Amino acid sequence: MRASGAGRRRSSRRRCWRRRRPPPLTPRAGLGQASASHPHPFKAEFLPQAEATRVVAEYQQELREETARQREAHAEAGRKLASVEAAEEEVRKAGAKAVQSLMAEFQVLRAEAEEARKTTEQQVLAREAEQFMAISNRASEIGSSLEEYGSQLRRAEDDVEACRASVRQAEARLQQSEEAAEELGQRFGEVGRALSGLQSQSREHKQAAGELRASLQASVKALEGSVAELARDAVDAAGGGRESRRPAGGRQPRLASDARVAAQCVCGALSRVVPMTAARNA
């Protein structure tokens, strides 16, 4: 009766093992793999966060400095353009005043020439010759002055064009900085999504490790119980009479099968642990 009771207990224990046996675990892609920057896969969710925060702060500081420099350059170019335009306006006003004064002098000289014609012919000829020479000299001076004013005006226009080109370049650099800022924001978003993916993978890996640890503990406990029963049956078979040998002989095959089942569970668990350990060490 004791042997039959033990058999019932063993059969119920075997059914319990079958019910509690966890599903086979396979290593997932990307889980448990170390890298140069994160040597420990289970701590990968903590290390990149600080580094990413530091890199983000550095990039934001550089972007603010570059934006400030570009704005200062843009303001300086605007000031230069305003000064050049003011100088151009002054040159134009001075040229207009000089032309007006020269025209007034020319009118005066013409009036004097008209008055000189009313005198004698020789005086008129002499005066006209002198006045003509003076007018020609003054006209040459006026021409040279106009040429000088024209060259100054052309230089002012060149300066204005150069300032406009520098302004366009500053605007282009500012646009590039804004595009770089947008790209940096997109990269920060990608880094955040990658960090969240790593955190979810780490949680799945920890959950799988916990299930595997529980399965190994259950298998080890079952194997220890089977070994203890085998030891007790061996002691009973060695010290008892013929009556105690018979039930022990009936129980030994069941205990041996239990031990084999437990050993198979442990071997299966180890076969699942070894690939995961190799992938983590790789």
pLDDT tens-digit series, residues 23-33:
444 444 444 44
pLDDT > 50? residue 137: yes
Is the model more confident about 267 or about 184? 184
The residue that leads in pLDDT, 43 or 125, is 125
Query: In whole angstroms, how far apart are CA 42 and each of 32, 46, 166, 199?
Result: 7, 9, 54, 9
- Asked if the model's pLDDT at residue 157 lies above 60, the reply is yes
Top-confidence range, 110-114, 183-187, 256-260: 183-187
Give how far the C-alpha of residue 227 lies from the chain's centroid of Cα atoms, to the nearest Å.
59
- Mean predicted confidence (pLDDT) in 53-72: 90
- Alpha helix positions (H), the chain: 2-20, 47-117, 121-239, 242-281
Candidates 190, 196, 197; CA nearest to 182 is: 190
82 closest CA partner among 170, 8, 7, 156: 156
Q: What is the pLDDT of residues 70-90, one digit of tens each?
A: 999 989 988 898 888 888 899
Helix (H, G, I), strand (E, B) or coil at 261: helix
3 state DSSP class of 75: helix
Q: Evaluate whether 79 touches 119 at the Cβ level (below 8 Å).
A: no
How sure is the predictor about 222, in pLDDT bands with cuts at 50, 70 and 90?
Answer: confident
pLDDT 10s digits, 166-175: 888 888 888 8
Q: Name the average pLDDT for the chain.
A: 74
Token duo for residue 270: 């180890």
